[in-house]
Chain A
Amino acid sequence: MSDVPNDLKYSKTHEWVKDNGDGTLTVGITDHAQEALGDIVFVEAPEVGRKVGAGEATAVVESVKAASDIYSPLAGEIVEANAILTDTPDAINTSPYEDGWIFRFAPSDMSALDALLNAAAYEQVVEEED
């Protein structure tokens, strides 16, 4: 069974979202997603300052198998991309919720965070897929 931390929010497309408490959110992909993708070998990060819509393809994660879009769970503006993924993209495999975060953004409406899935609801999504 994959790891689904209780303190994060989730999307149906397997991103996790962490509230940094400073008006920004951090986004990565779940343990389930990294396992399904296999060894990750390349990450195309978004540029800082880019405005993204909710559900917009924002980054690309390439595994040995295929390329996958990473969607921004909410609308907002990119404030940082995880620089370590340039040289160690496999941090997403080894540490999907910590070292392997993908980008940080400032949402235009923080209250929209409530509409995302909690851990139990995300586990349900994973279960239905298997």
Chain B
Amino acid sequence: MGRQTPLFSEHERLGARIVPFGGWDMPLHYGSQIEEHHAVRRAAGMFDVSHMRPVDIEGEDAQTFLRRLLANDVAKLQSPGKALYSCMLNPAGGVVDDLIVYARGPNRYRLVVNAATADNDIAWMREHARDAALEIRPRDDLAMIAIQGPEARSRTEPLLPEAMRAEAMRLEPFFAADDERWFVGRTGYTGEDGFEIMLPAEEAADLWSALAEAGIRPCGLGARDTLRLEAGMNLYGQDMDDEIGPLESGLGWTLAWAPEERDFIGREALSKVRQDPNRRVFVGLLLTGRGVIRSHQKVLAEGREVGEITSGGFSPTLERSIALARVQPGMGETCEVEIRGKPVAARILKPPFVRHGRIRIDL
């Protein structure tokens, strides 16, 4: 039996199939994962993501600390509410976790980390903060609901606290509105527009029911995974981990190398990896033969093993199997994936596969 979010009884009432995930009991789907997926691409769906952990870091050394802790640079966050995606690396250049960090004001930040890694992340932060003048506060008192899809924001609008409604609707992507109780970010993990709302746990069930009444479909972790895969977004523990770093998992764009004097944890190790012409590259695959690609299957070229699937599955939007894979550099446009001992033809391409309801690759 895992931990339960403040919305657990809502999930049970809706007949969700509950599965263990990162120490939590979470909804996998509420009937049909594929229908939930389509709801997000075509209208609006909502996800209980209260298992993810907000962590507030505040105090006069907060910015200095985060500029050392994170591989992306929080100094880029010039205005309050701005968000940044970053990896938190170990000295060997492996990924401790990937996270979103929001600026809330001078030396006030909110990070949101993954469920399974949260306790380890917080211990890591505390270890590196040592006696810096800052406070690290995990916000177990908050629930989090992601509302995603082309109609997500408009259907959510009337349910936002009136005082922050106008500001929330004016948000640019990757910005948040914050009234110190509710925190509404125009962010997500599906490749669609939408909000991620953090709010006091005791208010979560009311918001969830009101969102459902507004026609927003409850969606489980299953749809969340196929949506993020189509959007070409990485999943921690699968596409990268504490041994496989950002340069080999398509996350080079999240590393802030400038300014040169900023010595973030992992920088030295990654500087060497960066120069390595043989380092593996992260690509997207579209299966042209029949079957479904799964993680850990081998990627072959001319019968030789050249890489590994990190995330694979069925894309409901494309009605084909797609994957993310780590392969040798210099591959051509095609390869094979070994499925149950047999090579099946695939094309190599650059993710995303789908964004904002549109197919972004040639089928």
Residues of chain A within 8 A of B321, CB atoms compared: 42
Contact of A44 with B by CB under 8 A: yes
Q: Which of B33, B290, B294 contacts A39 (CB 8 A)?
A: B33
Q: In the bound complex, what is the Cα–Cα distance between A38 and B37 (angstroms)?
A: 13
Q: Which of B29, B222, B292 contacts A62 (CB 8 A)?
A: B292
Residues of chain B within 8 A of A38, CB atoms compared: 17, 28-29, 32-33, 222
Known: A60-B340, A65-B222. A39 touches B34 (CB 8 A): yes
> What distance in Å separates the Cβ of B176 from its nearest Cβ neighbour in chain A?
32
Known: A62-B314, A64-B314, A65-B222. A42 touches B290 (CB 8 A): yes
**CB closest chain-B residue, reference A36:** B17
**In contact, A42 and B314 (Cβ under 8 angstroms):** yes
**In contact, B34 and A64 (Cβ under 8 angstroms):** yes
**In contact, B32 and A39 (Cβ under 8 angstroms):** yes
Describe B's contact surface by its main secondary structure. mixed
**In contact, B291 and A42 (Cβ under 8 angstroms):** yes
**CB closest chain-B residue, reference A42:** B292
Residues of chain B within 8 A of A44, CB atoms compared: 290-291, 340
Which of B29, B33, B292, B316: most chain A CB closer than 10 A?
Answer: B292
**CB closest chain-A residue, reference B315:** A41
Contact of B234 with A by CB under 8 A: no
**CB closest chain-A residue, reference B342:** A44
**In contact, B32 and A66 (Cβ under 8 angstroms):** no
> What distance in Å separates the Cβ of A124 from its nearest Cβ neighbour in chain B?
22
Describe A's contact surface by its main secondary structure. strand
**CB closest chain-A residue, reference B34:** A39
Residues of chain A within 8 A of B290, CB atoms compared: 42, 44
> What distance in Å separates the Cβ of A71 from its nearest Cβ neighbour in chain B?
15
Q: In the bound complex, what is the Cα–Cα distance between A58 and B34 (angstroms)?
A: 26
Contact of B226 with A by CB under 8 A: yes
Contact of A8 with B by CB under 8 A: no
Q: In the bound complex, what is the Cα–Cα distance between A42 and B226 (angstroms)?
A: 16
**In contact, B314 and A41 (Cβ under 8 angstroms):** yes
Q: Annotate A32-44 by CB proximity to B: 1 below 8 A, 0 otherwise.
A: 0000001101101
**In contact, A64 and B313 (Cβ under 8 angstroms):** yes
Q: Annotate B1-32 by CB proximity to A: 1 below 8 A, 0 otherwise.
A: 00000000000000001000000000011001
Q: In the bound complex, what is the Cα–Cα distance between A67 and B222 (angstroms)?
A: 15
Known: A60-B340, A62-B314. A67 touches B292 (CB 8 A): yes
Which of B29, B294, B314, B321: most chain A CB closer than 10 A?
Answer: B314
Q: Which B202-251 residues have C-beta < 8 A from chain A?
A: 222, 226
> What distance in Å separates the Cβ of A30 from its nearest Cβ neighbour in chain B?
17
**In contact, B29 and A67 (Cβ under 8 angstroms):** no
Residues of chain A within 8 A of B28, CB atoms compared: 38, 65
Q: In the bound complex, what is the Cα–Cα distance between A41 and B315 (angstroms)?
A: 10
**In contact, A67 and B33 (Cβ under 8 angstroms):** no
Q: In the bound complex, what is the Cα–Cα distance between A60 and B313 (angstroms)?
A: 15
Q: Which B327-363 residues have C-beta < 8 A from chain A?
A: 340
Q: Which of B29, B292, B340 contacts A41 (CB 8 A)?
A: B292
Residues of chain B within 8 A of A64, CB atoms compared: 33-34, 222, 226, 313-314, 316
**CB closest chain-B residue, reference A66:** B294
Q: In the bound complex, what is the Cα–Cα distance between A44 and B32 (angstroms)?
A: 22
> What distance in Å separates the Cβ of B297 from its nearest Cβ neighbour in chain A?
10
Known: A38-B222, A39-B34, A60-B340. A67 touches B314 (CB 8 A): no
> What distance in Å separates the Cβ of A3 from its nearest Cβ neighbour in chain B?
16
Q: In the bound complex, what is the Cα–Cα distance between A91 and B313 (angstroms)?
A: 19
Name 27 A/B residue pairs within 8 A (Cβ), A-sorted.
A38-B17, A38-B28, A38-B29, A38-B32, A38-B33, A38-B222, A39-B32, A39-B33, A39-B34, A41-B34, A41-B292, A42-B292, A42-B314, A42-B321, A44-B290, A44-B291, A60-B340, A62-B291, A64-B34, A64-B222, A64-B226, A64-B313, A64-B314, A65-B33, A65-B222, A66-B294, A67-B294
A residues with CB within 8 A of B: 38-39, 41-42, 44, 60, 62, 64-67
B residues with CB within 8 A of A: 17, 28-29, 32-34, 222, 226, 290-292, 294, 313-314, 316, 321, 340
Apart from the given pairs A60-B340, A64-B33, A64-B222, 4 other A-B contacts in the complex at a CB distance below 8 Å: A41-B34, A42-B292, A42-B321, A64-B226
The list of the 3 closest CB pairs from A to B, nearest first, reads A41-B314, A62-B292, A39-B34
